[in-house]
Amino acid sequence: MTELTDFIAGLPKAELHVHHVGSASPRIVAELAARHAGSTPVPADPALLADYFTFTDFAHFIEVYLSVVDLIRDPEDIWTLTYEIARELAGQNVRYAELTLTPYSSVVRGIAAAAYCEAVEDARRRAAADHGVQLQWCFDIPGEAGVPSADVTLQVALEQRPDGLVSFGLGGPELGVPRPQFAPHFARARAAGLHSVPHAGESTGPETIWDALEHLGAERIGHGIAAARDPRLLSHLRDTGIVLEVCPTSNVRTRSVPSLAEHPLPALVAAGVRVTINSDDPPMFATTLNHEYAVAAELLGLDAGGVAELARGAVRASFLDDTAKATLLGEIDGYLADYLAGYDAAR
């Protein structure tokens, strides 16, 4: 496995399901907590964050997540967070990432929408120049804040329309947050050329995925692991090519799945459903995209060629243009060819 881990570390990759605030490293979280000491429950000691990021259930995860959101209080915080995420992704040989942003959480705390978008766009350009990683944005509705948050998210998306914005999403808890109430927002976003990528079927059943498909026009599904319980849905996903953005460690850490051994990823793949492997909120879940690829390789019994095909699948499912996709696919193919040539030479 060590050899495969080394292969994964050097593999050019795309990350399609990773959250902005949820990617704040312990160092950044601790610095922000110290800056706002006395007004936050988040520990200012990085060593204490592992315990703070131990979740009893999905609702507790949302509570902790929102406490970290509350640490992002001005455009400088936003810029630093965005740039540092890009730096860390580049360190894992991620060439491209679609980062899920929740502008509502910042706008409602008093940061102007224009300043928010200016900060993330400037960080995106700097990260590309400094680290060779391309970022694009998914603006997502925090479902727990209801329709008013969807109104704001859509307004920011359509009025500001930052260059990196490619998709429109829906996150937060699924229980008690019906997907159909957001249908008008997704319809307007799609009409404006944004792709639909809502979360569904993570902590609820297959019906949430059906709602995302039927009411929100989903082109990819965030998580979607509950599809494994519904043979008709599995067939529909397979036949339509709808991609599930699977985040194995996240599902275990939020208690949506009892253990990695019981994760439905193998069943989804066996049913012919297209999947990508992603990290979701990596520091909160003590993981990385590289680790998630290693987890997937173990669950699916993959060798280097199989892992490279996972990476290709993420590129194909991305919202990159065709030229950029071809370039990144070529990088993956070249990397695998060099690896296999070296492996054969060593035998």
- Domain residue spans in the chain? 2-346
Note the pLDDT tens digit of each residue in 44-72. 888 888 888 888 887 888 888 888 888 88
Fold of 2-346: TIM Barrel (3.20.20)
Residues in the chain predicted with pLDDT less than 50, given as ranges, are none
The Cα 42–Cα 202 span in angstroms is: 26
Pairing of strands 275-277, 195-196: unpaired
What's the pLDDT score for residue 347? Answer: 59
Q: Which amino acid is at 3?
A: E
What's the pLDDT score for residue 59? Answer: 85
What's the pLDDT score for residue 27? Answer: 81
Q: For residue 279, which of 292, 296, 267, 268 has the smallest C-alpha distance?
A: 292
Helix, strand, coil percentages (3-state) for the chain, rounded to 5, are 60, 15, 30
The Cα 254–Cα 87 span in angstroms is: 26
Q: Does an H or E element contain 137, and which?
A: strand 134-142
What's the pLDDT score for residue 35? Answer: 84
The Cα 91–Cα 133 span in angstroms is: 10
The Cα 198–Cα 222 span in angstroms is: 6
What's the pLDDT score for residue 344? Answer: 65
Q: Which residues are catalytic?
A: 202
Note the pLDDT tens digit of each residue in 184-200. 999 999 999 999 999 99
Which pTM value belongs to this model?
0.93
The Cα 283–Cα 288 span in angstroms is: 7
The Cα 280–Cα 278 span in angstroms is: 6
What is each CA distance from 72 to 103, 179, 216, in whole angstroms?
11, 27, 29
What's the pLDDT score for residue 52? Answer: 87
Contacts with 309 (C-beta within 8 Å, 6 or more apart), sequence order: none
What's the pLDDT score for residue 332? Answer: 98
The Cα 13–Cα 24 span in angstroms is: 20
The Cα 85–Cα 288 span in angstroms is: 12
